[in-house]
Structure 1
Amino acid sequence: MILAKAIVALLLAFTLAACQTPPAAPQEDNPDLYAALGEREGIEAIVEDLLYIIVDDERIAFQFRGLDVARFHGHLSDQICMLAGGPCTYTGRDMAESHSAMAITNTQFNALVEDLILAMEKNRVPTAAQNRLLARLAPMHDAIVRP
């Protein structure tokens, strides 16, 4: 079971790394995604759990040291909410600007994806909804990862 989850996570990570299209605009099925994520309350719970997972993930925890956690939580919740078709507006910096000095690697990007999957699983988000959200987040890869 654990091996199967690891394989799925790796496949998703490779799929995400291969995507190079701009972020998708909200689509017709997004309101269904917003509901599947538990609407605003569910998204905030996912992001909170993600932050706890990140703290324990030695692959990426150092990238988040000194972060204004409340601000990050709010911006990430807004961004996911907006991408899922919810009634939110993301007002943070663009991905390239906010990650430009961080030297994020593919390994770190993939680790964050794995952690997000764990947070969604903890919140009982259906796999189909997880995949739909990841597909909307994947185009940000090139703005975040620096060669």
Structure 2
Amino acid sequence: MFMTRMTRALAAFGVTLLLSTAHAQGTADDSVYRAWGEKAGIQAVMQDFVTRLQADARMAPFFKNANREHLVTQLTEQLCQQSGGPCTYKGVPMKEAHESMDIGRRDFNALVEVLQQSMEAKGIPFAAQNAMLARLAPMYRDIINRP
């Protein structure tokens, strides 16, 4: 029994060490990037997403003055990077981009709902949807600026 627990603990330590070493060496897990259809797949979802955002009564006020093509490009680059792809997001940091927009939790949740609709419409597998959402979740703190 003790050896089994010890073996599991060592195995877990080994996996953690392997992952942290790979991350430190710049080797990224690109499984989400590949599951989304690489950059072309991400771009297709983002085109659908921006169209839905601008048509959604809850989201349209936030995006009425947005340059559609620029927004699609920036979102594509950002999700490509977040998914482990070879892209580098060079846009404005999320906190700075959203600080004057008066965004609450309800707004953020509506945006995620629209994103889920786009992912579903473009056939992104459920596990890949969840994996991307998990990678994007830390941005919540930088986007929400009111209760």
**Residue matched to 1:90:** 89
> Cα–Cα, structure 1 residues 115 and 30, in superposed 2: closer, same or farther, change >3 Å?
farther
Runs of 5+ unmatched residues, structure 1: 1-24
Amino acid across the alignment from 1:45: A
| 8 Å CA contact retained: 1:30, 1:83 | no
C-alpha deviation, 1:70, in angstroms: 1.2
Max Rg structure: 2
Residue 99 of structure 1 pairs with residue 98 of structure 2? yes
C-alpha deviation, 1:56, in angstroms: 1.8
| Cα distance in 1 for residues equivalent to 2:29 and 2:134 | 12
**Residue matched to 2:20:** none
Amino acid across the alignment from 1:35: R
What TM-score, normalized to structure 1? Answer: 0.79
For residues 31-50 of structure 1, the aligned pairs below 5 Å read 31-50=30-49
| 8 Å CA contact retained: 1:36, 1:129 | yes
| Cα distance in 1 for residues equivalent to 2:41 and 2:59 | 24
Runs of 5+ unmatched residues, structure 2: 1-22
Q: RMSD between aligned alpha carbons?
A: 1.8
SS in structure 1 of the partner of residue 30 of structure 2: helix
SS in structure 1 of the partner of residue 58 of structure 2: coil
Amino acid across the alignment from 1:77: T
Amino acid across the alignment from 1:126: P
* Residue-by-residue CA offset, 1:43-82 (whole Å, 9 max, x unaligned): 0000000011112210111100111111111111000000
| 8 Å CA contact retained: 1:100, 1:144 | yes
Amino acid across the alignment from 2:63: F
Amino acid across the alignment from 2:79: I
**Residue matched to 1:3:** none
Q: Which has the higher contact order (CA 8 A, sep 6+)?
A: 1
| Cα distance in 2 for residues equivalent to 1:29 and 1:88 | 12
| 8 Å CA contact retained: 2:50, 2:71 | no
| Cα distance in 1 for residues equivalent to 2:87 and 2:68 | 19
Quote the sequence identity (%).
40
| Cα distance in 1 for residues equivalent to 2:143 and 2:39 | 25
Aligned residues: 123
